[in-house]
Amino acid sequence: MLIVMSAQATAEEIREVAARAESLGLQAHSIHGQQRLAIAVTGLREALNPMVFETLAGVIEVIPLTLPYTLVSREAKSEDSVVLIGGVPVGGPHFAVMAGPCAVESPEQIHAIAASVRRAGAHILRGGAFKPRTSPYSFQGLGREGLVALHDAGREWGLPVVTEALDERSLEVVCQYADMVQVGARSMHNYPLLKACGRAHLPVLLKRGMGSTVEELLLAAEYIVSEGNRSVVLCERGIRTFAEHTRFTLDLSAVVAVQRLSHLPIIVDPSHGTGKRHKVVPMARGAAAVGANGLLIEVHDDPGHALSDGQQAILPEELAELLAQLPAILPLTGKALAPHASIAATA
Ligand code: PEP
Ligand code: MN
């Protein structure tokens, strides 16, 4: 339920609305618009009765939302949210590129790739230290050691870092070293992890489950935001279909659908979304053209020997070429490459 306050509402009137919600066991979340404040009230559906609030001073309208999610909806906030990741803005007019290997394999590997993705123009360094692998016999990641290497490489090259947490335990470690935590496609339905991310002080990159609808993705985001963390970036990474020419089917129309329904930024991962190197750059250009807020791309300097996902990693030179092409595409959707976090020491 959304309570729209009059532009002249006093602080006392706003407090009164929040207090009334809390006395009913509901949660009140302020949403600041350009003209006025709205209060999103969430909680058990049975307790959400608009009549209780309609007559309170300063209230001009109570909208009983028909959507199953509230805080992440466009109805609650019409302007695009911009999420800051270690100083890099993602969302609204800003288009940011997150790039790096699937997994951190060694300090030397991540330092070399950090240097090359920074030179190519990427904004954020990615690299998994806790890997959700399909087979238990595949490389599972370097854990804390990998996070230290990722963090050091990012700091050296002026790149904030994003990495996946698989569960609440790894989330604690990730929070010590990363600028953004990734919730992977397989974890989109891990509700305790989503709630823990909602209480964490890092922005969250939430990937769409490979068998999930857009509504389920937005409900997963609602879990995070309802716990207090508003810094959520969504990611379309492909869904399972009958197609055999591709590993997953990258659903670019989900970007358009999400932007209509939600104010949260959405980026696209054409690496997992296709599973094949030759499709990554064309689909990345497509993502920019449909209006995505950024890209998540796997890059490796020696894909033939990568410990995971080498078949879908592009070379640093290919990333540089893509970044050089983006300024021709982004103005079509009113976007531009985001500013970098800081000038890298040795770039
Ligand atoms: C990844 O980004 O390395 C990853 C495992 O992605 P997903 O969760 O989308 O499969
Ligand atoms: Mn991967």
The whole-number pLDDT of residue 66 equals: 76
Residue segments in the chain with a per-residue pLDDT below the cut of 50: 343-347
The whole-number pLDDT of residue 44 equals: 86
- Collect residues with CB below 5 Å from ion ligand 2: 102, 309
Domains detected in the chain: 2-63 (3.30.70.1140), 83-337 (3.20.20.70)
Instruction: Tell how many helices (H) and how many strands (E) occur in the chain.
Output: 11, 15
Pick from 98, 102, 166 the residue to mutate for probing ligand 1's pocket: most ligand atoms within 8 Å of its CB: 102
Q: How far apart are CA 16 and CA 22, in angstroms?
A: 10
Distance 124 CA to ligand 1 centre (A): 16
Structure tokens at 28: 């009140």
List, chain by chain if needed, residues with CB within 6 Å of any ligand 1 atom: 102, 128, 132, 184-186, 207, 237, 272
Distance 225 CA to ligand 2 centre (A): 26
The whole-number pLDDT of residue 345 equals: 41
The whole-number pLDDT of residue 70 equals: 92
* 3-state percent breakdown (helix, strand, coil) of the chain, nearest 5: 40, 20, 40
The whole-number pLDDT of residue 304 equals: 97
pTM above 0.75, yes or no: yes
The whole-number pLDDT of residue 89 equals: 98
The whole-number pLDDT of residue 261 equals: 97
Q: Tell me which residue has its CA closest to atom 3 in ligand 1.
A: 102
The whole-number pLDDT of residue 47 equals: 83
Pick from 142, 163, 272 the residue to mutate for probing ligand 1's pocket: most ligand atoms within 8 Å of its CB: 272
Pick from 164, 170, 239, 251 the residue to mutate for probing ligand 1's pocket: most ligand atoms within 8 Å of its CB: 164
Nearest to 130 by CA among 111, 115, 152, 150: 150
Q: Which residue has the tokens 């998540």?
A: 296
Q: How far apart are CA 345 and CA 156, in angstroms?
A: 7
Structure tokens at 59: 């209230």
Task: Determine the longest span between alpha carbons in the chain, in angstroms.
Answer: 67
